[in-house]
């Protein structure tokens, strides 16, 4: 055919002539009858095997909870990684993840489906982006691009696959409006006081309008190593995940909801405001705080002493009472006794007193005793001693 690049099909080569063929055996009557019977049987009931049906490709269920938000100079994508197929069977392995992205003008409606594949995460690497079944991926942008396209919408869609032949259905489509990200705060530090962990940091030096800060806290798992320097917080092992603790209008925050002995990891993000939209910075370098209870309770108040004379039924004693301590972690009280007003004296109770009373039966008639009381918390911290009071056992009391 003129102008055609096609070539005529080649015929198969002819078979070479057979040489030295063995003589064809001649079948007897009985053998012929047997072959005819077998042929008749197959004609009635034998079927030629068909081509095997190829197995259907395994399709993961489509992702339905894809979410996106900007943090710093990146868009963070999160979704629940599927574990079952569309046939309601376990996948048996982690699926690969395909991420699609598109960009819309600031005023364009976000109803398009992105068709550009920008990332493929192979199955062998998917677990590095997983935490408790949640897949989290960071899509970074050059700062110059964010400045040039400030207010544009990035739209995303994901698919997953376990078969090379076919991927899952499309996920839901999400949009994230992007702006130049603010800088992170620096020099985050924490100071433990009796009633709060006081945080402070250096404000970000950025041209963006900083509307405030957001403080995040996680609880480090027992035995997990503390982060060093500007560690990747996502790689830390938490017993309670990083969560928003609260907003801070200035470069400080007081965390009063903590427990002594636990290890907390804090990070702070700057918040830039663009009209009705706000954008967080990336995490500041984290600070780790393990608060220890080294704070003694307040000294007990209202100590009173009353000498009780001996009777025929019992010996003389001195009865003490004082106001209940308001400490929330109170373990008990100690009582100290001296025979001189200017000495500290010795403890007279063997075990901590659980109630604010004490009866001293080891007194001697005719002597004056000076008493002081302390409070002890569950960490073993002992308060200063109370104001001393005295009582004298009458000489004729025994």
Residue of 54 and 256 predicted with greater confidence:
256
Tokens of 324: 């209940």
Q: Is the pLDDT of residue 168 over 60?
A: yes
Average pLDDT taken over every residue of the chain: 86
pLDDT reported for residue 47: 47
pLDDT reported for residue 12: 35
Q: Is the pLDDT of residue 25 over 80?
A: no
Residue of 317 and 397 predicted with greater confidence:
317
Q: Is the pLDDT of residue 20 over 50?
A: no
The count of residues in the chain is: 398
pLDDT reported for residue 311: 82
Residue of 187 and 232 predicted with greater confidence:
187
CA 242/CA 30 separation, integer angstroms: 88
Q: Is the pLDDT of residue 16 over 60?
A: no
Q: Is the pLDDT of residue 271 over 80?
A: yes
pLDDT reported for residue 17: 37
Nearest-5° Cα angle at 175, 173 to 176: 150
Residue of 71 and 2 predicted with greater confidence:
71
Tokens of 65: 């909870």
Tokens of 366: 């005719």
Nearest-5° Cα angle at 49, 46 to 54: 155
**What's the sign of the alpha-carbon dihedral 350, 355, 358, 359?**
negative
Q: How many CB atoms lie within 10 A of CB 249?
A: 9
pLDDT tens by residue, 304-316: 999 998 887 888 8
Are 332 and 376 in contact, with CB atoms under 8 Å apart?
A: yes
**What's the sign of the alpha-carbon dihedral 30, 32, 34, 37?**
negative
Long-range contacts, 52-57 (Cβ 8 Å, 24+):
57/163, 57/165, 57/166
pLDDT reported for residue 27: 45
CA 89 remoteness from chain centre: 29
DSSP string, 209-251: -EEEEEEEEEEEPTTPPPP-SS--GGGS-EEEEEEEEEEESSS
pLDDT tens by residue, 144-164: 999 999 999 999 999 999 999
Q: Is the pLDDT of residue 14 over 80?
A: no
Domains and CATH numbers, the chain: 67-177 (2.60.40.10), 186-289 (2.60.40.10), 304-397 (2.60.40.10)
pLDDT tens by residue, 69-117: 999 999 999 999 999 999 999 998 999 999 999 999 887 876 788 989 9
Residue of 356 and 45 predicted with greater confidence:
356
End-to-end CA distance of the chain: 139
Residue 225 confidence class, pLDDT cut points 50, 70, 90? confident
Are 195 and 256 in contact, with CB atoms under 8 Å apart?
A: yes
Residue of 223 and 60 predicted with greater confidence:
60
**What's the sign of the alpha-carbon dihedral 83, 84, 89, 92?**
negative
Q: Is the pLDDT of residue 51 over 70?
A: no
Q: Is the pLDDT of residue 18 over 60?
A: no
CA 50/CA 23 separation, integer angstroms: 35
Residue 293 confidence class, pLDDT cut points 50, 70, 90? very high
Tokens of 172: 């839901």
Q: Is the pLDDT of residue 389 over 50?
A: yes
- Beta-strand (E) ranges in 38-115? 67-71, 74-80, 96-104
Determine the average pLDDT of the residues in 332-345: 93
Residue of 53 and 123 predicted with greater confidence:
123
Residue 13 confidence class, pLDDT cut points 50, 70, 90? very low
CA 134/CA 143 separation, integer angstroms: 28
């Amino acid at each position: 055919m003129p102008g055609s690049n096609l070539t005529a099909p080649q015929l198969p080569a002819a078979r070479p002539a057979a040489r030295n063929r063995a003589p064809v055996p001649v079948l007897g009557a009985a053998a012929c009858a047997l072959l005819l019977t077998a042929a008749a049987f197959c004609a009635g009931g034998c079927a030629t095997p068909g081509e095997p049906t190829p197995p259907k490709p395994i399709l993961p269920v489509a992702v339905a909870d894809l979410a996106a938000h900007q943090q710093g100079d990146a868009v963070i994508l999160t979704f629940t990684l599927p574990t079952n197929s569309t046939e309601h069977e376990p996948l048996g392995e982690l699926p690969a993840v395909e991420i699609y992205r598109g960009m819309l003008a600031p005023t364009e409606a976000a109803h398009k489906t992105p068709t550009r594949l920008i990332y493929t995460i192979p199955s062998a690497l998917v677990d590095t982006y997983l935490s408790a079944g949640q897949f989290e991926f960071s899509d970074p942008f050059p700062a110059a691009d964010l400045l040039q396209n400030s207010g544009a919408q990035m739209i995303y869609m994901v698919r997953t696959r376990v078969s090379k032949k076919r991927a899952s259905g499309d996920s839901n489509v999400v949009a994230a409006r992007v702006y130049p990200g603010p800088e992170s705060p620096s020099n985050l530090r924490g100071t433990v006081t009796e009633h709060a962990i006081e945080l402070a940091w250096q404000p970000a030096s950025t041209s963006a309008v900083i509307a405030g800060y957001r403080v995040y806290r996680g609880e480090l798992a027992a035995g997990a190593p503390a982060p060093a320097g500007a560690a990747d917080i996502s790689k830390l092992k938490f017993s309670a995940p990083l969560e928003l603790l609260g907003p801070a209008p200035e470069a400080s925050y007081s965390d009063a909801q903590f427990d002594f002995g636990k290890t907390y990891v804090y990070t702070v993000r700057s918040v830039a405001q663009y009209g009705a939209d706000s954008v967080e910075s990336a995490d500041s370098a984290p600070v780790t705080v393990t608060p220890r209870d080294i704070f003694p309770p307040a000294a007990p108040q209202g100590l009173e002493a009353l000498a009780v004379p001996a009777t025929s039924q019992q010996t003389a004693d001195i009865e003490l009472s004082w106001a209940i301590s308001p400490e929330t972690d109170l373990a008990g009280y100690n009582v100290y006794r001296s025979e001189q007003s200017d000495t500290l004296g010795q403890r007279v109770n063997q075990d901590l007193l659980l109630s604010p009373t004490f009866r001293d039966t080891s007194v001697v008639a005719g002597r004056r005793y000076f008493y002081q009381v302390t409070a002890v918390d569950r960490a073993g911290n002992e308060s200063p001693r109370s104001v001393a009071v005295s009582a004298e056992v009458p000489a004729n009391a025994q």
